[in-house]
Amino acid sequence: MRKFLLTLKYHGADFVGWQVQPNGHSVQTCLQDALEVFFGHRPDVTGCSRTDSGVHAEGYCAVFEADTDKECKRISLGLNALLPDSVSVWDCSEVPLDFHPRYDAVAKEYIYRLYDGMSPDPFLRGQAWHYKGSLDTERMQAAADKLVGAHDFRSFMASGSKILDTRREIYWCDITRRERLIEIRVCGDGFLYHMVRIIVGTLIFVSKGRLSPEDIPGVLAAEDRSAAGQTAPAEGLYLHKVYYEKPERRSSNEK
């Protein structure tokens, strides 16, 4: 028996999320369907995390076990021939049998993409959030810098979440602009439910003047969801990379 680690890219608009659900088609189901055709049996697939409906991935990690002599390259090619256009196996490698894609992960990096201005871009539909207005990325970066470090992020967790330990460490939160397209990169040792999307919504509040960068420590200290900003839409969120070795810290100007 061998264990294989797949790195996947997928467009989340076509799915109800990663995990198998009774109310729609999931990425996990899609991958299991392809594996069943390729191997002749249906292996269990374990992912590195859940993703919500509409959320994308550029480096999602999942594992399965199979009693096979097939090479990794052949597995990648075979699965890509069976998967829909919205899912791609980007890499396949063999890992130890005790490897776990979730519990062995030490950090994740998410990217949130949005663009501002009054006119929507049809080529970004479903791939980035269109914010109707002008965003001040300098103010947003000043606020984002105050999120870096170890904090209690309860204020940035969706209401109703049952998680008790809400302390997380953010390694970087960097904002870049290329014309109208804005990317917010957030890397940390773990994330609460909707945490990145609430961070984005809070940075929007800072840009609009509803909060100042200096207010962010108070938002963290409040430990209250109502102290933070809105929850940004799912369509702009991407799971970019899963780290299995701790990433080096970097400052906001090292982009």
How does DSSP classify residue 154? G
Beta-sheet pairing, 237-243 with 56-66: parallel
Which residue is associated with the tokens 């989340």? 12
> Is residue 52 annotated as a catalytic residue, yes or no?
yes
Q: What H or E segment, with its residue span, contains residue 29?
A: helix 27-39
Which candidate in 52, 136, 189, 215 is catalytic? 52
Which residue is associated with the tokens 């009693």? 67
User: Of 98, 100, 103, 129, nearest to 116 (Cα)?
Assistant: 129
Number of alpha carbons in the 13 Å side-chain half-sphere of residue 203: 33
Q: How far apart are CA 153 and CA 221, in angstroms?
A: 9
How does DSSP classify residue 228? S
**What is the three-class DSSP state of 208?**
helix
Amino acid at 110: Y
Which residue is associated with the tokens 């049996």? 41
Q: How far apart are CA 171 and CA 187, in angstroms?
A: 5
Active site residues: 52
